[in-house]
Amino acid sequence: MATTNPGKLAEIEAVFKDFPFQVISLSSLGSPPEIVEDGRSFEENALKKARTLAEFSGYLTLADDSGLAVDALNGAPGIYSARYSGENADDARNNEKLLQALAGVPQEKRGARFICVVALRGPGSRGGREWVFRGECEGWITFEPRGENGFGYDPLFFYPPLGKTFAEIDRETKSGVSHRGKALAKLKQALPSLLHALTNP
């Protein structure tokens, strides 16, 4: 799994806990190549990471690119979500910048969606086959952070069906409704046939 984010890794491991393989994090691979996410879409960035790290590791590699698209900001921060507040961006700075950008914007215009694209790529030695899955989750941006769970923009993303932000719900509940959860559910459903295709080229 092409991530060093422990929260994201935990979500992935939970989804695939019933499959007969081990999920290995990027941090366990020694010195992986640094990847510049310069794609123009979530799909391009996810595929670039998956392709590069599949060749580096020799393993079937899952990479994702995800972000928050806010209607009042014309879809920003979008693919720049992780580095929205600059080179030294972190969750707190990103959330603070987002709230500042939406200062004075009423609730009815604070619509937003989380988007996640996951890309699965086999190494070139196994044919280099690849698959892409996309998930989205609709909500709106609160006026202040709420909740202690999750990561990223979760404290600001209000999910109407549950009446809570993503940071106010537990990981299992979030995985069932989130953008990443939806993309991974599509992958999970397809995975048996994909693994068959990889082992029987």
In a domain? residue 129: yes
* pLDDT value of residue 147: 96
Domain span at residue 75?
Answer: 6-199
Q: Kindly report the backbone phi and psi dihedral angles of residue 70, in degrees, each rounded to the nearest multiple of 5, phi listed first.
A: -105, 125
Total structural domains in the chain? Answer: 1
Q: What CATH number corresponds to the domain at position 143?
A: 3.90.950.10
What does pLDDT average to in each consecutive run of 10 residues of the chain (201 residues)? 82 84 85 88 96 92 95 97 92 97 97 97 84 97 95 96 96 89 92 78 58
Q: What's the pLDDT at 103? A: 97
Q: Is 65 a catalytic residue?
A: yes
pLDDT score of 25: 87
pLDDT of the residue at 18 = 86
Which of 18, 38, 64, 65 is an active site residue?
65
* Residue 154 resides in a domain: yes
Q: d(Cα 128, Cα 77) in Å, to the nearest integer? A: 32
30: left (phi > 0), else alpha (psi -120 to 50), else beta? left
**Residue 139 domain flag:** yes
1 inside domain: no
Task: Identify whether 95 is part of a domain.
Answer: yes
